[in-house]
Structure 1
Amino acid sequence: MRKKIEEESIFMKNLAAAKRSASHHAPDDTRYIEIKDLMERELTRYDDGNGWKDTPKDA
């Protein structure tokens, strides 16, 4: 089960910058990260076992 420990809104120039920022600022024991756009559509997610997985643009 995933437990939400934090949520914040930030504006980044591109997805790569958002990934770096999320990874850098997440607590050391973070196992899962989601990055969504302003419409709450998931753009990418990080899973400790699988790394980053981007959502296809046509999804």
Structure 2
Amino acid sequence: KQQKAMEQRLAQLEESCRQKEAERVDLELRLTEVKEKLKKSLTGGMLGASVESKPTIK
């Protein structure tokens, strides 16, 4: 009985871990996108125009 509870808890933790990893990947992709936009604006000299535009959030 105790082993069954431990296996169930392990399954819950693994699922939680998968969700957190997916969230981390999403945040990393969004961060990369922001960095790219910032780099483009800095090299293009259009920082003011870029800052005023609204960011797209999924």
Q: Does TM-score exceed 0.5, indicating one fold?
A: no
Higher relative contact order (CA 8 A, sep 6+): 1
Larger relative strand fraction: 1
TM score, norm. by length of structure 1: 0.32
TM score, norm. by length of structure 2: 0.32
